[in-house]
Amino acid sequence: MEEKTYKIMSGSGVMNVIMGISAIALGAIAGVMLIYSGVKLLSNRQGITF
């Protein structure tokens, strides 16, 4: 019984680490995309006429 609990907790810990790493990676990618689009908007603001 204790071995089954240990295996379940071990698997759960591994999944938490994997999900944490993927969340960090996706957050970094989203941040880079936002910075890139902001720089693009700022560089093209001279072409806007009202």
Dump pLDDT digits (tens) for 1-50. 778 888 889 899 999 999 999 999 999 999 999 999 999 999 988 877 77
Structural domain contains residue 34: yes
Residue 2 C-alpha from the chain's centroid: 35
Residue located via tokens 């806007």:
48
Structural domain contains residue 47: no
Query: Exposed (0-12), middle (13-18) or buried (19+): which is 10, by Cβ within 10 Å?
Result: exposed
How far apart are alpha carbons 29 and 23 in whole angstroms?
10
The pLDDT score that the predictor gives to residue 17 is 97
The pLDDT score that the predictor gives to residue 35 is 98
Structural domain contains residue 27: yes
Structural domain contains residue 22: yes
Range of the domain at 21: 2-42
Structural domain contains residue 50: no
Structural domain contains residue 37: yes
The pLDDT score that the predictor gives to residue 4 is 86
Structural domain contains residue 49: no
Structural domain contains residue 16: yes
Structural domain total, the chain: 1
Supply angle C-alpha 30, 36, 41, rounded to 5. 125
